[in-house]
């Protein structure tokens, strides 16, 4: 029996389409793997940068503390940086005091309301009488 030429052509086209799809899938897989590798490298870089920033911050804090104690003398070019840190520190302390004051004020208000409500059973207003 001879194969139908139309079926042979359709089968050939299906095989070509399948091979093309496999090729595209392989390319897509490579691109996804490359992207995943790039994402891993970016994440690792971000982690290293944060570690570096933390180390710089700790170094800066240690140097600042030593300079404040007079155990370390910095060149005069560092004076603006020291002043900026001191100003930021003063602002943070003032903000902390303000928050503390607000919390204290809130606590005092709550205590007054609590005392007022505890003694509130004798309000000086006549209670409603029920109709019979």
CA distances from 31 to 20, 34, 45, 53, 128 (A): 17, 5, 21, 33, 80
> Which DSSP string corresponds to 14-29?
HHHHHHHHHHHHHHHH
What are the tens digits of pLDDT across the range 37-50? 999 999 999 999 99
Give pLDDT, residue 130. Answer: 63
Query: Do 88 and 70 form a contact (C-beta atoms < 8 A)?
Result: no
Identify the band that residue 11 occupies on the pLDDT scale cut at 50, 70 and 90.
very high
C-alpha radius of gyration, the chain, whole number = 38
Query: Do 82 and 67 form a contact (C-beta atoms < 8 A)?
Result: yes
Residue 74's contacts (CB-CB under 8 Å, 6 or more residues apart) are 63, 67, 82
Give pLDDT, residue 5. Answer: 79
Give pLDDT, residue 125. Answer: 57
Kindly report the pTM of this predicted structure: 0.53
Give pLDDT, residue 3. Answer: 63
What are the tens digits of pLDDT across the range 70-126? 999 999 999 999 999 999 999 999 999 999 999 999 999 999 999 988 875 555 555
Residue 6 CA to residue 12 CA, distance in Å, equals 10
Residue 120 CA to residue 132 CA, distance in Å, equals 28
> What is the mean predicted confidence (pLDDT) over 45-56?
98
């Amino acid at each position: 029996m001879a194969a139908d030429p139309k079926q042979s052509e359709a089968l050939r086209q299906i095989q070509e389409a399948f091979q093309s799809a496999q090729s595209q899938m392989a390319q897509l897989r490579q691109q996804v793997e490359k992207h995943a590798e790039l994402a891993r490298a970016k994440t690792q870089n971000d982690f290293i940068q944060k570690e570096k920033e933390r180390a710089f911050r700790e170094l800066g804090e240690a140097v600042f503390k030593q300079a404040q104690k007079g155990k370390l003398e910095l060149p005069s070019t560092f004076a603006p940086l020291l002043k900026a840190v001191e100003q930021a520190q003063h602002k943070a302390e003032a903000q902390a005091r303000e928050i503390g004051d607000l919390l204290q004020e809130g606590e005092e208000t709550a205590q007054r309301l609590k005392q007022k409500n505890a003694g509130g059973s004798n309000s000086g207003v006549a209670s409603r009488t029920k109709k019979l």
